[in-house]
């Protein structure tokens, strides 16, 4: 029953939705393009490069590294914005992709590039953003439909799936929640339980009556889903500070969990609950180490960040 409920909440859209909100906030508060690029690089690449290096060491240890053209092509791709590329030489390791989660980093980096352009277009003509939203939403429906038909998963469709196009509308929704927060805050603050129950009931109903592939249902579902996610964030605003004390382990956990899963799969430590919890624990430990040893030191090089602003505001209120 719990797994059924969790399946209703897709992780990747949550990531893109929240990213749209936070990155829009960061850019609007400091729209200096040079600083924006620097901040985005400091947030993503230092931890990513260490992750890639560790991935190479793992592959080398298990005998899957050949220092040839394919390897260096993969390395360049991983080090730029083409993290989804995976050569055949790694297919025999683990699930076949050394770190399959990193395809979302490619999409996220493309969002970073697109955001200043989107702000410019929004200020010039808001209708352009609406058109982009509708086009992206249509592509997402197409991509979702093709996902259920694996015989049609040709190269173009696969490339479309890992591009920005099917997910841009999610990012725009997140950005819109930031832009119009004053208008919607009364609908989401401290109302998570309401939106959560509504979201679960809606999914149960559309699945029971098999109407989950209706475009109207898609729209309603995304509206409820978005309100639920942001309602959670603004219903427990002090929870993260109390538990994590201002630290953010999520990025590290995210980029390391598939490396750990692949090791377990490759050495055949699968099929038992103890391995499941071992992966969770090791992923959390990796995320904590990544934050303290890599991410946090590099983030302190930023002249402006939401983290620093919140900390300075807190100190000034003392």
In this predicted structure, the answer to whether residue 94 has a pLDDT above a threshold of 70 is yes
Band (156; pLDDT cuts 50, 70, 90): confident
Tell me the C-alpha distance between 53 and 256, whole Å: 12
| 39 φ/ψ angles, rounded to the nearest 5 degrees | -65, -40
Q: Across the chain, which distance is largest between two alpha carbons, in Å? A: 62
Closest CA to 110 of 32, 40, 18: 40
Residues 113-137, mean pLDDT to the nearest whole number? 95
In this predicted structure, the answer to whether residue 99 has a pLDDT above a threshold of 60 is yes
For residue range 239-253, list pLDDT tens digits in order: 777 788 889 999 999
Q: At what angle do helices 103-124 and 126-147 cross, to 10 degrees?
A: 150
Q: Which tokens belong to 261?
A: 């899963």
Torsion over CA: 138, 140, 143, 145 (sign): negative
Tell me the C-alpha distance between 229 and 21, whole Å: 11
Residue boundaries of the structural domains of the chain: 16-179+238-303
294 secondary structure, DSSP code: I
| Cβ 106 vs Cβ 81: under 8 Å | yes
Band (230; pLDDT cuts 50, 70, 90): very high
Q: Given the structure tokens 């196009």, which residue do they identify?
A: 165
Mean pLDDT of the chain, nearest integer? 88
Tell me the C-alpha distance between 227 and 236, whole Å: 14
The pLDDT value recorded for residue 203 is 87
Residues 295-306, mean pLDDT to the nearest whole number? 82
Distance of CA 298 to the CA centre of its chain: 20
Other C-beta atoms closer than 10 Å to the C-beta of 237 total: 10
Band (157; pLDDT cuts 50, 70, 90): confident
Q: Which long-range contacts (CB under 8 A, 24 or more apart) does 176-181 make?
A: 176/20, 177/20, 177/21, 177/226, 177/230, 178/20, 178/21, 178/22, 178/24, 178/25, 178/28, 179/24
Residues 56-68, mean pLDDT to the nearest whole number? 95
Band (317; pLDDT cuts 50, 70, 90): very low
Closest CA to 311 of 252, 251, 245, 249: 245
In this predicted structure, the answer to whether residue 6 has a pLDDT above a threshold of 90 is no
In this predicted structure, the answer to whether residue 8 has a pLDDT above a threshold of 70 is no
| 92 φ/ψ angles, rounded to the nearest 5 degrees | -85, -5
Band (153; pLDDT cuts 50, 70, 90): low
In this predicted structure, the answer to whether residue 4 has a pLDDT above a threshold of 60 is no
| Cβ 93 vs Cβ 129: under 8 Å | no
Better-predicted residue by pLDDT, 241 or 192:
192
CA trace torsion 43, 44, 50, 52 (10° rounding): 170
Band (63; pLDDT cuts 50, 70, 90): very high
For residue range 256-295, list pLDDT tens digits in order: 999 999 999 999 999 999 999 999 999 999 999 999 999 9
The pLDDT value recorded for residue 253 is 96
Torsion over CA: 148, 150, 152, 156 (sign): positive
The pLDDT value recorded for residue 245 is 82
pTM equals 0.87
Other C-beta atoms closer than 10 Å to the C-beta of 314 total: 11
């Amino acid at each position: 029953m719990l797994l059924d409920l969790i399946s209703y909440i897709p992780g990747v859209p949550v990531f893109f939705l929240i990213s749209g909100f936070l990155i829009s906030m960061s850019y609007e508060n400091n729209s200096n393009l040079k600083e924006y690029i620097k901040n985005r690089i400091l947030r993503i690449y230092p931890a990513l490069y260490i992750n890639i290096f560790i991935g190479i060491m793992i592959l080398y240890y298990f005998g899957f590294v050949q220092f040839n053209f394919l390897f260096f092509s993969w390395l360049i791709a991983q080090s730029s914005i083409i993290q989804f590329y995976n050569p055949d030489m790694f297919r025999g390791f683990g699930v076949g992709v050394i770190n399959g989660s990193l395809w979302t980093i490619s999409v996220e980096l493309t969002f970073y590039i697109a955001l200043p352009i989107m702000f410019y277009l929004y200020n010039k003509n808001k209708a352009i953003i609406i058109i982009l939203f509708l086009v992206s939403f249509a592509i997402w429906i197409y991509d979702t439909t093709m996902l259920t038909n694996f015989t049609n998963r040709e190269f173009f469709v696969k490339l479309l799936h890992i591009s920005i196009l099917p997910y841009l509308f999610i990012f725009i929704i997140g950005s819109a929640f930031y832009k119009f927060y004053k208008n919607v805050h009364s609908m989401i603050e401290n109302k998570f339980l309401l939106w959560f129950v509504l979201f679960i009931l809606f999914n149960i109903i559309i699945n029971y009556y098999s109407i989950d592939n209706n475009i109207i249902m898609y729209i309603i579902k995304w509206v409820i889903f978005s309100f639920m996610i942001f309602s959670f964030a603004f219903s427990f605003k002090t929870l993260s500070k109390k538990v994590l004390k201002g630290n953010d382990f999520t990025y590290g956990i995210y980029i390391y969990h598939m490396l750990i899963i692949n090791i377990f799969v490759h050495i055949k430590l699968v099929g038992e609950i103890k391995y499941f919890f071992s992966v969770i624990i090791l992923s959390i430990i990796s995320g904590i180490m990544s934050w303290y040893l890599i991410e946090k030191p590099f983030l302190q090089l930023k002249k402006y960040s939401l983290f620093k602003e919140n900390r300075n505001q807190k100190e000034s209120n003392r």
